[in-house]
Amino acid sequence: MTIEIELKFIVLPEAAANLAAQLAAWPHQHTPAESLTNIYFETADNQLRRWDMGLRIRGFGEHYEMTLKTAGQTIGGLHQRPEYNIDLQQPELDIFLLPADIWPAGCDLAALQRQLSALFSTHFQREKWLVSYKSSEIEVALDRGEVAAGELSEPLYEVELELKSGERDDLLAFAAELGKMSGLRLGSLSKAARGYALAQGGAQQALRPLPVMQVKRKATVEEGMRAAFMLGLSQWQYHEELWLRGNPAARASVQEALETLRQAFSLFGVLIPRKASSELRQNLTALEEALAEKRPEAQNLCFSALWLDTQLALTNWLATERWRQFIDAKADAKLQGSFKRFADIMLGRLAAEMKESFDTIHHNGEYRDKAPRLERQLLAVHLLAGAYDSAAVEAWTGSWNQLLQAIRYQQESWLDAHCRQAVKQPAFWMNGSVKERPEA
């Protein structure tokens, strides 16, 4: 078993053609392109997917290899997953060759072997460079081909950076250097994820409203903060894919995701100095301005240097816990405190601000003026309300959302009634209705 640490990029064809020239800036060893075929296996009920596993056989030349990837972590385009590789004499699946202790307790391997069948495949040319960068060796792989499932297929243009030896920080720094060339964006979806989507018919995914953020019971403030940024980044990249695939409504969801990240910086800014995130916040502002322009082009913006630089910086910030360079022992002690207590305090402040803002309205124009701030405050509530009874949270936020919808759709006859209802909602964070969540 090895831990695979790699960064994945989606690359435009013209950028792929320029990659070799870009890599000439560093010492490297080049390997000419070779043909690779990967066949991915799954059960009819997607059991491996539910276990967060991926199983494939790869063929290149006369060599075959079975690979199982198990649950890991993805931050932006940084993928870190345990990986098991078994050499094969023939391209025939045999899961008994894998270590027995990787399977869930009680797994019937013989039954699982019978249920597995080929679900989708990838066919591509892989060209590689082993680059020496700082104190690390980084493999750069350029893949050009397709992902196919049945009659459906889509083109594949990817660049993968895999840390062969050295430090993860060097991998992230090298990615930032490579990101200066245009035509790259982070790939949050693996080849397997794209293959599963095709196998399910390639239907367009639905927009995903921002959920109430969930954290483990007794989470620390730092764990809650990390989860908030992870949620915002996940929402951003999910809707980025939809926007690029032709759903114009996803642009507004990308804007909401960026605002969610800004609200996370605002919420936790009481504990972390502003200088720890100043560049990130400036980039988020610049992206929001670009998205607000009239009819921005999805491909131009999502493959821009600003887009990639911001996602890479946020990925780096999370993966390396960059904020720790800016805090002292006192701030650290607060970060290790109870996220639930932190949420109690911050929700109380948000609710007081919302009530004060809407307690006295003199004319309907004030509702329109206050709506943008209300939207931002409700996003912040979503980042704080996961530890409480979900029905109570839904009732409280539902009243404010009714008011927000009435403002958006100019339902002026309903504004005052919805406002009164929202303002008088009892505080769900003070009524003892804490949701019991298992320890992680």
pLDDT in tens, 109-119: 999 999 999 99
How confident is the model at residue 343, as a pLDDT? 96
How confident is the model at residue 1, as a pLDDT? 63
Determine if residue 329 is left, alpha or beta; phi over 0 gives left, psi from -120 to 50 gives alpha, anything else beta.
Answer: alpha
| Across 59-82, average pLDDT | 86
Q: What percent of the chain has pLDDT over 90?
A: 84
CB atoms < 10 A from the CB of 63, how many?
10
Residue 259 has pLDDT above 60, yes or no: yes
| Across 313-328, average pLDDT | 93
Q: Which of 69-73, 310-314, 344-348, 416-420 bottoms out in mean pLDDT, i.e. has the lowest?
A: 69-73
What's this model's pTM, rounded to 2 decimal places?
Answer: 0.89
Q: Please state, in angstroms and as integers, the Cα–Cα distance from residue 406 to each residue in 180, 210, 382, 412, following that order.
A: 45, 20, 20, 7
Mean pLDDT of the chain: 92
Which tokens hold the place of 281?
Answer: 């916040």
How confident is the model at residue 433, as a pLDDT? 47
| Across 302-322, average pLDDT | 93
Tell me, letter by letter, the H, E, C secondary structure of 49-110: HHCCCEEEEEEECCEEEEEEECCCEEECCEEEEEEEEEEECCCCCCHHHCCHHHCCCCCCHH
How confident is the model at residue 438, as a pLDDT? 41
* C-alpha–C-alpha distance, residues 111 and 135, integer Å: 47
- pLDDT range class, residue 435, cuts 50, 70, 90: low
Of all helices (H) and strands (E), which one includes residue 4?
A: strand 2-11
Residue 210 has pLDDT above 50, yes or no: yes
Which tokens hold the place of 137?
Answer: 């060796």
* C-alpha–C-alpha distance, residues 433 and 440, integer Å: 20
Q: Which of 120-124, 186-190, 234-238 bottoms out in mean pLDDT, i.e. has the lowest?
A: 186-190
pLDDT tens for 5-21 read: 889 999 999 999 999 99
Nearest residue to 36 via CA among 110, 98, 125: 125
